[in-house]
Structure 1
Amino acid sequence: MKNRAGRQKLLQNNNWKFMHGDYKDAKDFQYDDSKWYDIGIPHSFGIPYFQENEFYVGYGCYRKILYIDESWLSKKLSLEFQGAFQDAEVYLNGQLAGVHKGGYTAFEIDITLYAMAGDNLLFVRLNNNWNPRLAPRAGEHVFNGGIYRDVSLLITEPVHISWYGTFVNTSAVSKEEAVVDITTEVLNETDSAVTCRLVSVVEYKGEAVIRISDTGILNSKSQMVFHQSDKIRDPKLWHPDTPELYVLKSFVYLGDELYDEYKTSFGIRWFLFTSDKGFFLNGEHYDINGANVHQDHAGWSDAVTHSGIRRDVKMVKDCGMNFIRGSHYPHHTVFAEECDKQGVLFWSENCFWGTGGPKEEGYWTSSAYPIKEEDQLEFEESCIRMLKEMIRTNRNHPSIIVWSMCNEPFFTTAEVMDKAKKLVKRLVKVSHEVDPTRPAAVGGAQRGGFDTLGDIAGYNGDGAVIFHNPGFPNFVSEYGSYEESTRPGSITHAGMEMEYQWRSGKALWCAFHHGSILWNMGYLGMIDYYRLPLNLWYWFRETLLGIKQPEPVKEGIAHALRVTADRTCIGTDGTEDAFIMVEIIDQAGNRIANTMEIVLEVVSGGAVFPTGKRFVFSPGKRNFYEGLGAIELRSYYAGENRITAVAEGLAAVELIISAAGEELWENQRLTELLPPPSVKGMPKHDKSFNIGVSRPVFASSEQPDYAARNVTDQSSTRPWRATEKKQGEWIMVDLEGSKPVNRGEIFFEEVNSNPFEISISSNGVDFKVIAVSKDRAVNSFLDISLGGKSLRYFRVQFPEESAAIIKIKLFS
């Protein structure tokens, strides 16, 4: 057999130039980019970013010299972007090669027609402007632009397997036997028909367990889909406790010549969500217990390395959890790969997203579904396109058990709510068509009747309380998030959502602190932004794994600094970094809880922190607590890196991190990245908005037809009524994060003379009474001035007999 299989995947993360702003002329070779920043991919417009609720919005432009070997010109050449937020134009040698809209999914750009031998100019013009026709239109995260995931050059023969062109289905599985169905797309980009033979070999730990061969005729400029099937006896089943993986090797032959070879990792398992007995994996009931995960890391924003992703998955696994919900957008394909390898179930979610707050066009607090008819068709197509892209690039991962259509789409203006529901139904249909092997979930379905639209309802906030045994498969997709905190954090509210036989699982909100357009919303994790655990993480680890929580760290006499890293050698291709920790220790070598400013500096070598060559720890920067801080370091140049840690009164400490790669540092002069030239936050509003609409509501009790949620439901006319009119009944609105509130309104169902008190809280434990009814005063409506107080919980309590309440409104 002859071998001319030329498939290569070459990372292109190194040696980029970047500048904030729109520079259309930079697509031309002669453009002078000498004053642009020298950066590597992954990269974010916002670097360095540290959870600010304002961020750069606008254009950013990237340039790179892309080398093309002359021998490649007879092949198919394309660029793979794993993610670019969010509207990208890709040029090669001044010619527009392709565009992509959507910030969270991978895409391929064919550059074959524009490539030439030698140096080629690659130019990417990108913006993260809010777009009324592009999902997401809303969300409480941040939307930093950038080429924030890997870029690769793909080189294949003109006859080859399509991009992400394999799909392995193992739905017909038992412990004794597994039917493996393989779908393979083979593309012929030549000008003539060819006879193609596809050989598919399935291996387990290097040993072939399946071998199938089929032949077909491919017309010119066409694609053929091969369907192959065989059985495996005694399959090694994928399970979080035993994450066994198989490899499919696909070989494309023309005659006796091998034209393409492609590898696909997959697992064999079967699962079932039931309406009455929860979740089953490989025929056995399985309790799902996990957390929601946003993608961003301290300083680097959403531009995260593979090793950073690996640590994130491991930290969730290490506290005893077995599940991650990818909130609230498709994550890097490497994220699912890590869940496969480490044994973590994964809920992969589309980016149709809504959030509470003012529903005005122009920013990410707008209506989740477009309010203008002229925007609606293109918006729906963007949701469908990104759902398809998410599924195509992730469909072979055994860890993924759910495709989620959305998150909290009910945060939509009432006038177009029915259209939002129709879109969710349409997405469910598309999901079933593209991948019939996995259920389609509706994430954040606790309002507006969205929970009945998919195969699984994901309830957030008070949804777990409201929907008891709803009669169809259901999941608590968010619970917890009681208190915004930095390390060490409180475990006052520590606890897991109640387990019921009919519930499939639960996910904490959330695993990690993250950036948010709403300042305090980002501080609800069990692990902080710098990837250091709070006490809540240790509580989960003790509860789930029996590992005792560490003793509290106390202040002492500072003797020295200790600097450590999770690795002493990193790659230089943008996929690896070093996780560096700095501690203050006493003479016995124990960490102490003292506070001081500590400066980390790369004194030699090409490595950088997100802030450049220096990084400063101090409590004032919210990055150093209990005598401990951490930050990630990366390098795009090979060589030794000397990092020093300096603090007043203590001896300097040195750490050596080597970087392995092709291009040496050799004291190159680079234009280092500076903070963005401008930032944009939530628009200032002259008028007041009811920020309590559709927020979670909790109560001491409720009558079946008079639920607590009615008081924030914009479509409900029914009141909340306690089960009995006894003393001590209460109702409480949760704003899901501390927010400034100017005033509140309470509408009673009837004229009320029963005493009540109104109190507010930021953590759900410590309440401050702000109003007490006058003795037997008659009220049907109350308007309470709050003067812009920051609060999360608003509670009405009745010390004697309770009264029914129709609405509670809280205005910003």
Structure 2
Amino acid sequence: MKSFANRIETLINDSWKFSYGDCIEGKDKDFDDTAWYDIGIPHSFGTPYFMENEFYVGYGSYRKELQIDREWIGKTILLEFQAAFQEAEIYLNGQFAGSHKGGYTAFVIDISTLALEGTNLLFVRLNNLWNPRLAPRAGEHVFNGGLYRDVSLIITDPLHIEWYGTHVTTPEVSADRAVLNIETEVVNANLHPVKCKLVSRIEYEGVTVFETVAESDVLQPGQSLIFKQTGIVDQPNLWHPDTPHLYTLTSQLYENGLLKDDYTTTFGIRWFYFDAKKGFFLNGSHYDILGANVHQDHAGWGDAVTRAGMRRDVKLIKDCGMNFIRGSHYPHHPYFAAECDKQGILFWSELCFWGVGGANVEGYWTASAYPIHEEDKAEFKESCLMTLREMIRTNRNHPSIIVWSMCNEPFFSNEEVMEDARALIVRLVEESHRLDPARPAAVGGAQREGVDALGDLAGYNGDGASLYIDPGFPSFVSEYGSTIDWRPGEYTPSYTDRVERNPQWRSGKALWCGFHHGSFVFDMGSMGMIDYHRLPLGSWYWYRNELLGIAPPPEIREGVPYALRLTADKYVMGTDGTDDAHLIVELLDEQGNRISNTIEVTLEIVQGGAIFPTGRTLVLSPENGSFLDGAGAIEVRSYYAGNNQIVARAEGVQFASIDLMTEGEQAWSGQMIHIQTGPPDVQKIPSSGESTNIAKSRPVFCSSYALEHPAMNVADGREDTCWEANDSDSGQWVMVDLEGRKNAEGAVIAFAESSQDDVEVSYSYDGKLFKRLFFGNLSDKPSIEVDLSGGLRYLKVYFPQNPVAVKHIEIFD
């Protein structure tokens, strides 16, 4: 709990009840919820979730007893939700308190007039139904519903600083001097007019740097105003990934000499810019950016990740020598950016306007990124704008954030609405500039349909890096790589990257992707350099060696199994829902060396109130990818204080155990809690019912190309374009990447002309081992039809002799 003067901020993550389904009667105090699950926040509908391709879609109902102290009555009382996926209705004591639409941003509900002294009943009705008018309409992640980020209670005086109401900018910065502009939004929720005084104090490591005071005119009931103050910091300690210095703004609000509110804001002082010809500059010096994309979900817990888990994720990216994270493809928890601030990682914060390739089917997250029905467009546009506003407001003071991104691959919209999609991007860029002119507005995944020129910074995914050479405006490789792998994984940089300096005009690049993650697309989530259980693959060690000069560990080999070893990243943890421990279990030989044998390990909590995502026991096995190369891992958490003993057992070897101490207000009494066992059913990906060209707008790679005929032309869906090699050398090729294994029935390859020379068509799952589908010449007709009748990721057209221009490659599901 944070308590400053009349402001109290306390987490209420513990002691919730949950049930699947739309149980509106749960809002009534006398409703019997004894059959409901006992859960804590953060919570997911999908728990336990282990990268399955399907997930529960529907309603979930939450109940909690909320204690309101006598002295809080008459004050402003807010419920803060850091996110709820994705349509939430909140009730207090049976009365409707408010609602929110959108699954990735924080919001508050004012319960001041509904709260009663003593025990109150809080009820949340939540659904994760696909909504054609909410972003995202599409995306290759999973969209498990839930109160999957922290919930807090905030109590302030009626005269107070608004929620996330401070904004610190640095319009002038140098190594010698920084000018700070401070905007503070103040609200008068009293029933009478007031005059107030605001004291703003800047501190660095506990030492006051400067202090400024401002006074208001009369503030009427219900009125708000924004104080604007300016100060100067001499010889500022500049924020940089190598030296992540942070300052603190303390905002104190007075009425008639009495302190009414006390609010703190952490920020950093730095300056940066992106240049079209010279790349990225930080604090006056060129800075080469190399990082990774990061989704938010973890093994077992799904999206319901603790702050400790976020902290480990940032550290794992930092520890391999990278300096950047792209928050793919939605706003992340504000705490994630706070960890980037502290640990020194540049952060790209992204909106959830998202597209995904393949058949665009209404009714699921495979739809057109932009609405196809006129009646859905206005509300969808407002959904994107509102989410952008909420993302920027809650994250604008983080020095790690260097860009707001408007979207990811919005070109996966139906052709007839592409112009509307481009217009929305332009509107979002304008709104981003209005809200925060100090940061550029990027267009993420901008390699098709001309969307790269709509923002301040173009982020190219996949083949975009090779298509757009020195585009004439600031650019970034927002995704490269996408290699499917499992531990131990190959000791490679994933794809063709070699970590050399970016070309001078390219600001940076980000690997796809940092971690394995859930996806409803087969194998799409298995592209991380760190697996779902947060254990590194070989590529992570490759980057660490290249960037930091740390040699990889020796190869783990098979041996004679003798014992298990169980360790944790900490042995004392909190119980407020923000903390957990990362357990690692390893298989050892008699000499204590880890060996790579396959084995099934059972973890059990034999004492204490801690839980796994599966409850009191959890099985790690090679079959589901959770115990590989002689090791497995999982996160454990608790909402009860006390000692916890955890045992790891496997057949034929010595067991291992550890003790974890949990600290908090509510002690574990030995009572058994009703553990969530997973959703009652899951929704499968709907079929369009028609054969669809799933190669359209996918990445296309080639051996070479003529400048006016790039490889992307074979997947643009047009008849008047083609790919041509830049010369007639033998061995030329062009290849479509479906970005994950897809089921397909057949493919058609059309050529610009017939030819007596041979051509080979082959397919692959991994881009390494190809199987031939066709070999022969094009003397009969300038097209080839091949039967696939199964899965593939890559389709390659190879010319062992003279190459022929390829008009299009179509792959049909």
Secondary structure of the residue aligned to 2:195 is strand
Output the CA distance in 2 between the equivalents of 1:716 and 1:324: 39
Name 1:437's counterpart in structure 2: 438
Structure 1 letter corresponding to 2:52: E
Cα shift at 1:791: 1.4
One-letter amino acid matched to 2:344:
G
Task: For 1:210-225, list aligned pairs within 5 A.
Answer: 210-217=210-217, 218-225=219-226
How much has 1:773 moved relative to structure 2? 1.4
Task: Output one character per residue of 1:574-624: Cα deviation in whole Å (capped at 9) or x when no partner.
Answer: 000000000111122111111211110001110000000001111012100
- Determine helix, strand or coil for the equivalent of 2:263: strand
Map 1:220-231 onto structure 2 (within 5 A).
220-231=221-232
1:576 aligns with 2:586: no
Report whether the alignment pairs 1:420 with 2:438: no
Task: Tell me which amino acid in the other structure corresponds to 1:768.
Answer: K
Name the CA distance, whole Å, in 2 between partners of 1:265 and 1:166. Answer: 10
Cross-structure match for 2:78: 78
TM-score scaled by length of structure 1 = 0.98
How far apart are 1:54 and its partner, in Å? 0.2
- Counterpart secondary structure, 1:773: strand
Task: Give the secondary structure class of the aligned counterpart of 1:687.
Answer: coil
Structure-2 separation of matches of 1:4 and 1:82: 21
Q: Which residue of 2 aligns with 1:283?
A: 284
2:708 matched residue in structure 1: 705
- Kindly state the Cα deviation for residue 311 of structure 1 after the two structures are TM-superposed: 0.2
> Following TM superposition, by how much is the alpha carbon of 1:557 offset from its aligned partner in structure 2, in angstroms?
1.3
Structure 2 distance, partners of 1:593, 1:215, is: 68
Instruction: Answer whether contact 1:290 1:316 (CA < 8 A) is retained.
Output: yes
Do 2:404 and 2:442's aligned partners in 1 also have CA atoms closer than 8 Å?
A: yes
The percent identity for this pair of structures is 57
Once the two structures are TM-superposed, the CA of residue 497 in structure 1 deviates from its matched residue by 6.3
Structure 2 residue aligned with 1:686, among 679, 685, 689?
689
Between the aligned partners of 1:223 and 1:383, the Cα distance in structure 2 is 26
1:336 & 1:35 partners in 2: Cα distance? 38
**In structure 1, C-alpha distance between the alignment counterparts of 2:672 and 2:796, rounded to whole Å:** 59
After superposition, residues 161-176 of structure 1 pair within 5 angstroms as 161-176=161-176
Measure, in 1, the Cα distance between the counterparts of 2:60 and 2:727: 60
User: 4+ residue runs of structure 1 moved beyond 6 angstroms?
Assistant: none
Q: Which amino acid aligns with 1:679?
A: V
- In structure 2, what is the equivalent of residue 308 of structure 1? 309
Matched residues in 1 for 2:719 and 2:25: separation? 55
8 A contact 1:410–1:447 mirrored in 2:
yes
Partner deviation per Cα, 1:711-742 (whole Å, 9 max, x = no partner): 11135721111112231111111111111221
Whole-angstrom distance in 2 between the partners of 1:589 and 1:654: 16
Q: What residue is the counterpart of 1:779 in the other structure?
A: 781
Residue 407 of structure 2 is matched in structure 1 by 406
Residue in 1 aligned with 2:257? 256
Alignment check: 8 A CA contact 1:132 1:370 kept = yes
- The answer on whether the counterparts of 2:482 and 2:495 sit within 8 Å (CA) in structure 1 is no
Corresponding residue number in structure 2 for 1:655: 658
Alpha-carbon shift at residue 170 of structure 1 (Å): 1.2
Could you tell me which residue of structure 2 aligns to residue 353 of structure 1?
A: 354
**SS across alignment from 2:623:** helix
* Unpaired stretches in structure 2, ≥5 consecutive residues: none
TM-score of the aligned structures, taking structure 2 as reference length: 0.98
Contact preservation (8 Å) 1:494, 1:536: no
* Residue number among 637, 641, 646 corresponding to 1:643 in the alignment: 646
CA contact (8 A) 2:596 2:630 kept: yes
Report the alpha carbon displacement of residue 341 of structure 1 after superposing the two structures with TM: 0.1
Shift of 1:484: 3.9
Contact kept in structure 1, 2:308 and 2:579, CA below 8 Å = yes
Q: Which of 119-128 and 698-707 deviates more?
A: 698-707
- C-alpha distance in 2, partners of 1:542/1:787? 42
- Which residue in 2 is equivalent to 1:65? 65
Deviates more, 1:28-37 or 1:697-706: 697-706
* TM-superposition CA deviations, 1:335-380 (whole Å, max 9, x none): 0000000000000000000000111100101000000000000000
What pairs with 1:361-376 in structure 2 (closer than 5 Å)? Answer: 361-376=362-377
Q: Structure 1 residues 490-499 or 233-242, which shifts more?
A: 490-499
Provide the C-alpha distance between the structure 2 equivalents of 1:609 and 1:568, rounded to a whole number of angstroms. 16
* 1:463 aligned residue: 464
AA in 2 matched with 1:164: Y
**Helix, strand or coil for the counterpart of 1:172?**
strand
One-letter code aligned to 1:424 = I
Counterpart of 2:110, as a letter, is D
For structure 1, list consecutive stretches of 5 or more residues without a partner in the other structure: none
Matched residue, 1:724: 727
AA matched with 2:6: G
- Whether 1:397 aligns to 2:393 is no
Are the counterparts in 2 of residues 759 and 794 from structure 1 also a CA contact under 8 Å? yes
**Offset of residue 193 of structure 1:** 1.4
Mapping 1:720-799, distance limit 5 Å:
720-774=723-777, 777-788=779-790, 790-799=791-800
Q: How far, CA to CA, are the matches of 1:486 and 1:679 in structure 2?
A: 28
Residue 669 of structure 1 and its aligned partner are, at CA, apart by 2.7
Which aligned pairs between 1:36-185 and structure 2 lie closer than 5 A? 36-185=36-185
CA deviation map 1:19-66 (0-9, x unaligned): 010001110001110100000000000000000010000000000000
| More moved, 735-744 vs 55-64 | 735-744
Q: Distance in 2 between matches of 1:214 and 1:482?
A: 56
Do the aligned residues in 2 keep the contact of 1:753 with 1:778 (CA within 8 Å)? no
Specify the SS of the correspondent of 1:370. coil
1:319-338 → structure 2 map (5 Å cutoff): 319-338=320-339
Kindly indicate whether the alpha-carbon contact (under 8 Å) linking 2:91 and 2:97 is maintained by their aligned counterparts in 1: yes
* Secondary structure class of the residue paired with 2:180: strand
For 2:446, the aligned partner's letter is A
Kindly state the Cα deviation for residue 490 of structure 1 after the two structures are TM-superposed. 5.3
1:638-694 residue CA offsets vs partner (Å, 9 max, x unmatched): 111111111111222221011100111111132111110000121134322111010
**Structure 1 residue 617 and structure 2 residue 620: aligned?**
yes
| Structure 2 CA distance for aligned equivalents of residues 511 and 245 of structure 1 | 26
Does structure 2 conserve the Cα–Cα contact (< 8 Å) formed by 1:136 and 1:368? yes
Q: State the distance in 2 between where 1:107 and 1:508 align.
A: 31
Letter in 1 for 2:755: N
Counterparts of 2:757 and 2:151 in 1: how far apart (Å)?
65
Tell me whether 215-224 or 272-281 shows the greater mean CA deviation. 215-224
Q: Helix, strand or coil: the match of 2:532?
A: coil
Amino acid at match of 1:704: L
Give the equivalent residue in structure 2 for 1:811.
812
Q: Is the 8 A contact 1:484 1:737 kept in 2?
A: no
Deviation at 1:111, TM superposition (A): 0.4
Map 1:437-586 onto structure 2 (within 5 A): 437-489=438-490, 491=492, 493=495, 495-496=497-498, 499-586=502-589
